[in-house]
Structure 1
Amino acid sequence: MSDQPTPMMVQYLAIRDANPGALLFYRMGDFYEMFFEDALAASAALDIALTKRGTHQGEPIPMCGVPVHAAESYLLTLIRKGFRVAIAEQMEDPAEAKKRGSKSVVARDVVRLVTPGTLTEDSLLEARRHNFLASFATVRDESALAWVDISTGAFRVSPCPLVRLGPELARHAPRELLVLEGSGLDDLAQEAGAALTELAAGSFDSTAAVRRLSAMFGVETLDGFGNFSRAELAAMGAIADYLELTQRGNLPLLRPPVREAAGGAMQIDAATRRNLELTQALSGGREGSLLAAIDRTVTAAGARLLDRRISAPSRDLGEIHARQAAVSYLVEAPRLTADLREALSRAPDMDRAISRIALDRAGPRDLAAIRAGLTQGAAIAALLPEDAGAVLTEAARDLVGHDELIDLLDEALVAEPPLLTRDGGFTASGYDEDLDETRRLRDEGRGVIAGMQADYIRETGVTSLKIKHNNVLGYFIETTTTHAERMLAAPLNERFIHRQTTANQIRFTTVELSELETRILNARDRALEIERGVFARLVAAVLAQAGPIGQAARALAEIDLQGAFADLATGENWVRPTVDDSRAFEITGGRHPVVERALKRKGETFVANDCALTAGETPAIWLLTGPNMAGKSTFLRQNALIAVLAQAGAFVPASAAHIGMVSQLFSRVGAADDLARGRSTFMVEMVETAAILNQADDHALVILDEIGRGTATWDGLSIAWAVMEHLHATNRCRALFATHYHEMTALSARLDGVENATVTVREWEGEVIFLHEVKKGAADRSYGVQVARLAGLPGSVVERAKEILHTLESGEREGAARPQMLLDDLPLFRAAPPPAPKAAAPKASPAEARLREINPDTLTPREALDLLYQLKDLQAEG
């Protein structure tokens, strides 16, 4: 056997070499095949069989494959495992290749490069989350971040200094990040969970970017979209270049880029998002996050909008108040809200449908989604009164004016179209006469032939005439020899053409019968061809209205979100907060939305608490003390979440709330190390604290929990003390500072604007009872030993801890020369006494023994009374 590569394998290797870094799905009939290293990697990742095909350089060629019809599920697995996939399709009919000779290969080419940031198929996407592709560029001393979701068309850009890149990536959570080769941003991308793709410098050329973007949007200049810096142009241009590469020229339908000004949203860094579990729980996944707790949207687009609002709470007062007004209107109109939500629940995801249509990846159901979305939109607009407020009335305006397109799609499409265009059957009867006739021939060919036979009998007067079919002649007219004489004579012989004579029969055909036969035989293919034409015309009609359709999709998402906020406020007894430009922070009866939801499921009640950080122009800091498990961290987090909800435009879980605009939100809560970067728990704590102290301004809200606990006691106290003083004197912000260092409570007497607060507990018979109430004042101790006992530490350990604690506290009261002398002078570290042997259990009394034998459920009243006398006697005997 020759070891020369076959023409097909030569083609495969050429295509693979042209697409480095990607697995190659090579179309062969009904399968995508992979060879060589791609086959080895794919078979392991997909857990599919590995086979062989031919040899190369004396070695068998590994091969595996996946069916074309099931390719999406395999693509999803590969993308989630970090692969990129190049899809090479057959660009011609195999029959055409055969015409060129036996050694000719079917022409193939890559039609798409599938990457994490360029997905559009529903099966590859999370319906309720965006799928962002981001790009970071630096030009001279300016940097910018651009991000796009090609599945919805959203395209935005913002100035972004390198120091802000981490927080911005945390905010958008892109699936893929484009950067310049050698940029060294691997750690940031990994921390954000984004696949990193490095591009050559040419992709970030700002001058070329203008040409690319102008061509993408079909404009002569970008001036109509706004004024962009060179860095912003470079970031957007890299996205345009990458989409050209991955989509192979079939560009997605993107909305014009929108420039987001710096400072338009509350700044929240990555650590704070993680600590507060805004969109993802610390345990991983959505459940347990703020987003999961408050999400009552009924559409996928509404859920994605909620994600954006929670991830980037607004700092625009007018915007916040308009959104609050919409929620208030719907809260006061519960019947309207219910009707809107019921109608919205039937609205499909138009954003993603129109994106697939533009990328030529759509099917008939995507057209039906546009029809259903616009139809529901018109019905929803009709429900909204004119006095519904700016947000809702503007959304209603975007939902009307689509009647012509709705009528076209309604007339052209069946009620429940199939998934794929190639299946046919999606065009409604009566829309296309040629299609209706072709379908009649395809589906009712026998009836059409019977009708023609009846016509011929009437014309010839030969009642025995039959139209028959066989595989040799196809359709033919047959009659007996006797009756055939009439058809062989003029004038019928001009119409009926003799084809064959048998012993007893003579067979004829006609021009009409031959044409009908051709049409019947080709009816299926012809019907599909006509429907493909119908589909193309409908796609063109939809794309011509892409802008208004996109506005309608966004309007539905906005109405859904406001309705969800109203439903949440009504169902959970939330209130409209006052949000203004002051530095106020007054919460009455505040609650943690996630914890409260969890407690309700268990039938328990959340203990609400007040928080007042208002101090005019001075700093406003609460120093919070109290034992572990008492609820300090919950209190800290709930106030931060209330600020997020308020500036997102929602109502908040409280009895009343007045919040001065929060410019930045910082949280240093919890303990975790970062072993991948060689950082201990304490180092992580200090890095996050440093970021807060270096960035927080006087309109920031800072929550800090147990600063300094990761090091020695006196080091930790010193650091915590200095941090508090810096917050007060330099940052001058609003802050909640939880600590176990009771010595710090003395700061309230020295620093204006610092107040002590504590989470209360009660002690009863050696037990500590957590009341979860926050009040002014300082805790007298930490109750750490009691909490340790509750956690299940052995009794001997708990008792020893009490002894050591008493010795330490006595030494401090007696005034040691220096703190460490406690360890030098007092016998703390002698060997702990062995645990006392357990006393033998006392022998059970006769009365107790009798009680153990009794089943109360089986006793009659008389037997119970007799038993009582028996027990009295036994007790007396004992």
Structure 2
Amino acid sequence: MTVTPMMAQYLELKAGYEGALLFYRMGDFYEMFFDDAVAAAEALDIALTKRGKHDGTDIPMCGVPVHAAEGYLLTLIRKGFRVAVCEQMETPAEAKKRGHKSVVHRDVVRLVTPGTLTEESLLDARRHNYLAAYAEVRNAAALAWVDISTGSFHVMPLSRVRLGPEIARLAPSELLIPDIKFEELRYLETEFPIALTELSGASFDSAGAEKRIETLFGIQSLDAFGAFSRPEVAAMGAVISYLEITQKGKLPLLRAPTKESESRTVQIDAATRRNLELTHALSGGRAGSLLSVMDRTLTAGGGRLLESRISSPSRALDVILGRQEAIEFGVLQSQPVGDVRARLRNVPDLERALSRLSLDRGGPRDLTSIRNGLSEAAMLSTMMQPLDLPNLLRDAVNSLTGHDTLINLLDEALIAEPPLLARDGGFIAPGYLPDLDESRQLRDEGRSVIARMQQEFVSETGISTLKIKHNNVLGYFIETTSTHAEKMLSAPLSEKFIHRQTTANQVRFTTVELSELETKILNAGNHAIEMEKREYETLKRAILLDATDIAATSAALAEFDLTCALADLAVSEDWVKPTVDDSRAFEISGGRHPVVEQALQRQSGTPFVANDCDLTADQGASIWLLTGPNMAGKSTFLRQNAIIALIAQIGSYVPAQAAHIGLVSQLFSRVGASDDLARGRSTFMVEMVETAAILNQADDRALIILDEIGRGTATYDGLSIAWATLEHLHDVNRARALFATHYHEMTALATKLDGVENATVTVKEWEGEVIFLHEVRKGAADRSYGVQVAQLAGLPVSVISRARVVLEALEKGEREGGAKQKTLIDDLPLFAATAAPAPKPLKTSAVETLVGEILPDELTPKEALDLIYKLKEAAKS
């Protein structure tokens, strides 16, 4: 069957992008056909229509308006699609010059994927959007990652076993994998919210990769950036290769690659990140995470920097102390910090504006973002000059200036609030280009001339409703009603007014004079737009020439923002500067969980109960074995100490009265559990896998928190596993650890292992109920209070009563021996739901009786004093 030229062009383009939806530009719409249309219509919830036939069947079709395409793109990307954007490379008029039936030339200008987004509306301003690549060469491997929206480019060596933890740390949107390794690594899709993309081995070839890197950065040798291993070069080259494919050769403005090392940051695995809710809550959103509580930054760059610091706490003591010094300056200098934060509110996202300009996806507003950001940076530098700044902030101040020429250029050239698109014009300031002013004057005066001409035609014809209008088809025309048109169609007016079009209610005319004026006005308007477009390119080039220094200024602004934000947090939330050193100390006084504390304040105003923790050990292990009932706060206590250590090592103040943290190399958490149905693993299996990872990897600088190890299996199995785990932590890992358990038998280990101490979360029991005090003290819990907690949860009274009977029999049997226990259990009557015993009447204490008789308004001071003595005496009984 014959295929139309347009459809032949579509099918040819589509063949090059089989794995993506093709957005085929047709006028003001992006159209999709065949299976693309069916899939897109369902994903976007838009109408599916048809257009023509192919092989005898209707061709499905759907489309989205070009002006609203970004919103649809975001939906498709989030649903796992990739989109090839196909644009018209010429106008229909230009196509006709090649022949009457010539199809407008089209080509794909960009492949939109999760890791290559740059548009402001498609990105979270406060998060990086990383594209990563993993490469293996012989027995070595590396990971490279880039954020093309900011230009950051990083690479690090790592082993296969560290790939998962690093993916958890960076949270890239897309990971590139060699095709021969794709099946081996497909499991990453189920473990992380990430899109996997397989590339041919040629993209990862280290020899070709080296050439690509040298070409991109215009260098003769990669040695200019440092020494890189073969896997590192391969991973970086794969990233660049993919960008060449997706951006159709228009590469983003990337900074020189930075080599990272595992030894410079605290190692945190995926399970620990999830359990501690560092950047995402267990519910999946940002709210309720540590990041949400700590984020008081005012700029997008500052927000991204905070997320990066929380995800990658430092192990470099000099870096940590430098950040502490800067925050301490902010705490002590509240007035300058307030002034700085006032200025930072006006700082736009320089990094992403710069990236969009480099990829030709920017507009006049990106030019003004650069101008405004650099202007604010210069004013900030002036404010800081008189102050005695710490080294970190002094270095940042030095990167804020040096853009005066560019600022003056942009200030003179641009209006205050330009339009979104360069093609709309009107963004170059009056007086900047004399030729542009002349064209604008002609264009604008032409409008007033049109108005005067309309008045002349009204006077000449005597038709007061006559109007001169304009549309894209007819240009300027004279319009009148059908009633008055007869007069203009008759002599003598018909000699001057030339009929052009008749509609249902109107008749349209033109004149030779109006046509000539239209030509002048249109030429002036088009000429003005073309001049503004050329000037936009000139200004863009001037900015890109200064791109490296602008990126440094952006980084300095982010550093200032984060420092001031953490200082503000420390002052308002009463956080303290911790002592961080190279010792094995871990001593926290009055520690608090920042997320729980904030939640309590918001919900009920209840104060958080602060607790101490001391795991200091000059040599060997230091482990607290924590017992106590559920709901008493064991898990919160475990998490808060891990979080305080992490916060300290990002260089921040911490939520405590005092803290002394010896550098932590690894942070491990096994708190809470759920099954992993996708990989066929039970809750207990997940728990054992995570525990195995800790025991196999933790070194003597690790901080480990373990909660209820072994609870997912039979009692004695679980107890034996928990017991052996604690011994391994003590004898082999020799780590600092908090180990919470319900197995009270384990408290005996405190007398056998030098590095183990018992601690418990205290409760009060009153009239058969428990009151949680949330206080941690040395010693062991005498019981678990599980039945009382079950009662608080709302279990039926009959169930609670039955549980008490069974518990009493079990405890009695345990005291009298195993055989006796079995006899007692066998002799228990069967459960009866209907015969629930009446609750015991509550006793009224002597104190309550006295308090109930008090009439405060009638008490004399002497009687009040006597009453206090009576109450004290009654309390003793």
Question: SS where residue 534 of structure 2 aligns?
Answer: helix
User: Is 1:432–2:433 an aligned residue pair?
Assistant: yes
The one-letter amino acid paired with 1:38 is: D
2:817 counterpart residue number: 815
Contact 2:190 2:678 in 1 (8 A): no
Contact 2:592 2:611 in 1 (8 A): yes
Question: SS where residue 227 of structure 1 aligns?
Answer: coil
For residues 671-726 of structure 1, the C-alpha deviation after alignment (integer angstroms, 9 at most, x for no partner) is 21000000000000000000000000000000000000000000000000000000
Contact 1:807 1:828 in 2 (8 A): no
Cα distance in 2 for partners of 1:61, 1:541 equals 48
User: Is 1:702–2:704 an aligned residue pair?
Assistant: yes
Deviation at 1:189, TM superposition (A): 3.5
Q: Gaps spanning 5+ residues in structure 1: where?
A: 452-468, 476-500, 506-512, 843-878
Contact 1:441 1:448 in 2 (8 A): no
Cα distance in 1 for partners of 2:350, 2:828 equals 71
Question: SS where residue 758 of structure 2 aligns?
Answer: strand
For residues 544-564 of structure 1, the C-alpha deviation after alignment (integer angstroms, 9 at most, x for no partner) is 000000000011111000001
Measured at CA, do residues 424 and 739 of structure 1 come closer, stay the same or move farther in structure 2, by a change above 3 Å?
A: same
1:520 counterpart residue number: 521
1:316 counterpart residue number: 316
Deviation at 1:101, TM superposition (A): 2.1
Deviation at 1:615, TM superposition (A): 1.6
Cα distance in 2 for partners of 1:559, 1:65 equals 46
Measured at CA, do residues 753 and 221 of structure 1 come closer, stay the same or move farther in structure 2, by a change above 3 Å?
A: same
Measured at CA, do residues 741 and 449 of structure 1 come closer, stay the same or move farther in structure 2, by a change above 3 Å?
A: closer
Cα distance in 1 for partners of 2:115, 2:495 equals 74
Contact 2:806 2:825 in 1 (8 A): no
User: Is 1:383–2:383 an aligned residue pair?
Assistant: yes
Deviation at 1:218, TM superposition (A): 1.4
Question: SS where residue 557 of structure 2 aligns?
Answer: helix
- 2:763 pairs, out of 751, 761, 775, with 761
2:267 counterpart residue number: 267
Contact 2:29 2:64 in 1 (8 A): yes
Cα distance in 1 for partners of 2:838, 2:16 equals 81
Contact 1:804 1:828 in 2 (8 A): no
Cα distance in 2 for partners of 1:690, 1:809 equals 33
The one-letter amino acid paired with 1:544 is: L
- 2:722 pairs, out of 717, 720, 723, with 720
Measured at CA, do residues 415 and 795 of structure 1 come closer, stay the same or move farther in structure 2, by a change above 3 Å?
A: same
Cα distance in 2 for partners of 1:834, 1:109 equals 75
- 1:100 pairs, out of 83, 98, 101, with 98
Cα distance in 1 for partners of 2:147, 2:801 equals 60
1:600 counterpart residue number: 601
Question: SS where residue 21 of structure 1 aligns?
Answer: coil
Deviation at 1:128, TM superposition (A): 0.7
Measured at CA, do residues 788 and 414 of structure 1 come closer, stay the same or move farther in structure 2, by a change above 3 Å?
A: same
Measured at CA, do residues 136 and 527 of structure 1 come closer, stay the same or move farther in structure 2, by a change above 3 Å?
A: same
User: Is 1:588–2:589 an aligned residue pair?
Assistant: yes
The one-letter amino acid paired with 2:216 is: M
Cα distance in 1 for partners of 2:693, 2:451 equals 86
The one-letter amino acid paired with 2:60 is: P
Contact 2:87 2:108 in 1 (8 A): yes
1:4 counterpart residue number: 2
Question: SS where residue 681 of structure 2 aligns?
Answer: coil
Deviation at 1:382, TM superposition (A): 1.5
2:564 counterpart residue number: 563
- 1:659 pairs, out of 633, 658, 661, with 661
Contact 1:438 1:519 in 2 (8 A): no
1:876 counterpart residue number: none
Deviation at 1:217, TM superposition (A): 1.0
Cα distance in 2 for partners of 1:218, 1:566 equals 41
2:411 counterpart residue number: 410
- Scaled by the length of structure 1, the TM-score of the pair is 0.87
Deviation at 1:445, TM superposition (A): 2.5
Contact 2:13 2:107 in 1 (8 A): yes
In the alignment of these two chains, the number of paired residues is 789
1:207 counterpart residue number: 207
The one-letter amino acid paired with 2:324 is: Q
Cα distance in 2 for partners of 1:234, 1:250 equals 21
Cα distance in 2 for partners of 1:836, 1:752 equals 52
For residues 75-134 of structure 1, the C-alpha deviation after alignment (integer angstroms, 9 at most, x for no partner) is 000000000000010111111211222321111110000000000001100111110001
Measured at CA, do residues 113 and 834 of structure 1 come closer, stay the same or move farther in structure 2, by a change above 3 Å?
A: closer
The one-letter amino acid paired with 2:138 is: R
User: Is 1:544–2:545 an aligned residue pair?
Assistant: yes
Measured at CA, do residues 434 and 828 of structure 1 come closer, stay the same or move farther in structure 2, by a change above 3 Å?
A: farther
Contact 1:386 1:393 in 2 (8 A): no
For residues 421-446 of structure 1, the C-alpha deviation after alignment (integer angstroms, 9 at most, x for no partner) is 11110000011000000000000126
Cα distance in 2 for partners of 1:23, 1:207 equals 33
The one-letter amino acid paired with 2:311 is: S
1:832 counterpart residue number: 831
Deviation at 1:379, TM superposition (A): 1.1
Contact 2:812 2:821 in 1 (8 A): no
2:33 counterpart residue number: 35
Deviation at 1:801, TM superposition (A): 0.8
Question: SS where residue 684 of structure 2 aligns?
Answer: helix
The structure with the largest alpha-carbon Rg is: 1
2:12 counterpart residue number: 14
1:613 counterpart residue number: 615
User: Is 1:629–2:628 an aligned residue pair?
Assistant: no
Cα distance in 2 for partners of 1:297, 1:383 equals 19
1:867 counterpart residue number: none
Cα distance in 2 for partners of 1:44, 1:515 equals 51
Cα distance in 2 for partners of 1:219, 1:166 equals 33
- Scaled by the length of structure 2, the TM-score of the pair is 0.87
User: Is 1:196–2:196 an aligned residue pair?
Assistant: yes
Cα distance in 2 for partners of 1:722, 1:316 equals 34
User: Is 1:780–2:782 an aligned residue pair?
Assistant: yes
Moved more, 183-192 or 170-179: 183-192
For residues 744-781 of structure 1, the C-alpha deviation after alignment (integer angstroms, 9 at most, x for no partner) is 00000000111000000001111100000000000000
User: Is 1:162–2:163 an aligned residue pair?
Assistant: no
Contact 2:813 2:824 in 1 (8 A): no
Report % sequence identity. Answer: 66
The one-letter amino acid paired with 2:803 is: A
Measured at CA, do residues 656 and 519 of structure 1 come closer, stay the same or move farther in structure 2, by a change above 3 Å?
A: same
The one-letter amino acid paired with 1:682 is: F
Question: SS where residue 716 of structure 1 aligns?
Answer: helix
1:117 counterpart residue number: 115
Cα distance in 2 for partners of 1:587, 1:660 equals 11
Q: After the TM superposition, which residues 284-295 of structure 1 pair with which residues of structure 2 at under 5 Å, given as runs?
A: 284-295=284-295
Deviation at 1:789, TM superposition (A): 0.4
